A and B are shown apart, each in its own frame.
Chain A
Amino acid sequence: MAPKSKVKEGEIWAIGGGKGGTGKTFITSSAGTYLARKGRQVVLVDMDIGGANLHTFFGISRPQKSLTSFFEMGASLGDLVVPTEMPNMSLITGDIHSMASDKITFSQKLKLFRQIMKLNAQTVLVDLGAGSHNNTLDTFLIADKMIVVLVPEVIAIENMYHFIKNSLFRKVKMTLKEYGFKEIVQHIWDRRQSYGIVNLKELIDYLRESFSYIGTILDHELSSFQIHLVLNMVRNNQDVQLGASIKSVMMKYLGIPIHYSGYVEYSDAVWKSVRERKPFMLNYLATGCAKEIEILTENLIKSADIDIPGVA
């Protein structure tokens, strides 16, 4: 894992969530646009390996520079930043040549993380793409704000649980490894039946209770493990309230806090623009979701929860 120490004051926001098609790229570019309009220096990084398309949201169809040069030619990340038409906002195009995620070497990964942390920006937004590959999880875990984008569907919820659970499992494993307890987590998990453990929370509780030293480490290291939830394509109040339910369940199921940052209502205008790959972000005010984007991004900045009538 990369060291947490930062050279710059900038914040890294990682946007993931497991399932494809939930609107991660849409949320990344919208929140980024809002921040840039607010005057923050923003760099968007497309880490959707195999499905990089963030550039198309800005009307760039044939990017001159992309992460491919980083992985294949050893280019430095800072040299791959290209400006967009939007003031204050630049972009690093993803690996458009579809290199498989597992071909990235460990040292490439560390170098990538180091350089992401050094990018000259106040906020770096990293679009993670779908899936729960270890490289994706590791990128998620280096972020200052871990954001998941969800749509109100069972499969998406299931994938999101999987994604968060795997992130937490990896975090616990890596943390304890750093403290010298190399294989203990996997060891106990593999024999969980004989320990009477059915889920990750019970594993963590077991570790805490059995080894007070580990308990202290986990208390310290997991205190920063907070997830920010954005619901996309909601159609009614019931969908909106799902966020509050997920918050409740995640605390009881994994013992981790979720901030329900906000939601974006389903709109044909957005759906059409995304499908047609229109660079609509520059006039996203016209799509009617500007207010929702503002609320959720402000909540992300403050690590706050959205205020929903009927839900405290």
Chain B
Amino acid sequence: MPKDDLKKLYDVLELPPDAPLRDVHNSHLRLKKLYSGESIVLEPLGEEFTDKKKKKILEQIEEAYAKILASRAPEASRTEPLFSAEAAEEKLSEPEDPAAVVYSGPRLRKARDAKNVSLNELSKELKLRLELLNNLEAERFETLPEAIYLRAQLRTYAAFLGLPPVKVADDYLRRYNAWKEKTSPPPPEGASRRHRS
């Protein structure tokens, strides 16, 4: 592959062309998470950063990653990647295998109780309303805000208790969305994501 083409691939992963393989893995993972909409960094941009754009970026990232790995195949096969980005995320998680847990409202309450944190303290620390936290744990979905806001709140909640924020938000929102699908007709085509019901 010509040098310039290769440099462009590294640019996509936001790396210099001499980056160690470990950085290639880490950057790929980090950017993939970021543009999958998992990050609070993209959330505030809403519709200004369209899903179409995210999808395109994700495709570029995957393409660059695959091509870079192919170009370094001998090295890639003998080096065990150190997923430090993954490790960072799990740094504050519980000793039990977090992948095996489904973070429902009651499960979150249990985790909070185990840490001996009262709802009152949590409310003060996170600057979230007591009522909201209570409803969140009790899964009174009808009282909760739209998913886009809820995700941020869940992540704040999880981070404070040392739970994996992305997984907590994903698990909880899966339940929330299942409830939503059951109770309301599907939104019309092209409805704004920010639209409040």
Contact = CB atoms under 8 A, between A and B. Distances in A.
A311 B45 CA distance: 23
Interface size class of B (residues with CB under 8 A): 20 to 34
A152 B160 CA distance: 12
A100 interface: no
A157 B16 contact: no
A310 B30 contact: yes
Interface stretch (A35-43, A124-132, A232-240): A232-240
Given A248-B14, A311-B26, A312-B19, A237 B91 contact: yes
A309 interface: yes
Given A154-B152, A310-B30, A249 B88 contact: no
A223 to B, nearest CB: 18
B135 interface: no
Interface residues of A, number: 27
Given A245-B39, A248-B31, A310 B44 contact: no
B44 A312 contact: no
A253 B45 contact: yes
Contacts of A198: 47-48, 50
A253 B48 contact: yes
Contacts of A154: 40, 43-44, 152
Interface in B1-53: 14-16, 19, 23, 26-27, 30-31, 34, 39-45, 47-50, 53
Contacts of B49: 249, 252-253
A241 interface: yes
Chain A interface mostly helix, strand, loop or mixed?
helix
Contacts of B16: 312
Nearest to A250: B41
B84 A245 contact: no
B111 interface: no
Contacts of A157: 40-41, 43-44
A249 B91 contact: no
A310 B31 contact: no
Contacts of B45: 161, 249, 253
Given A198-B48, A249-B41, A253-B49, A312 B15 contact: yes
A186 interface: no
B59 interface: no
B88 A199 contact: no
Contact of B30 (A199, A235, A244, A246): A244
B19 A241 contact: no
Interface in A116-160: 152-154, 157-158
Nearest to B83: A310
A161 B41 CA distance: 10
B14 A249 contact: no
B34 A249 contact: yes
A14 B87 CA distance: 35
24 contacts: A154-B40, A157-B44, A198-B47, A198-B48, A235-B159, A236-B91, A236-B159, A237-B91, A238-B91, A238-B165, A241-B30, A242-B41, A245-B30, A245-B34, A247-B14, A248-B34, A249-B34, A249-B45, A252-B53, A253-B48, A309-B84, A310-B84, A311-B26, A312-B14
Interface of A: 152-154, 157-158, 161, 198-199, 235-238, 240-242, 244-249, 252-253, 309-312
Interface of B: 14-16, 19, 23, 26-27, 30-31, 34, 39-45, 47-50, 53, 57, 84-85, 87-89, 91-92, 152, 156, 159, 165
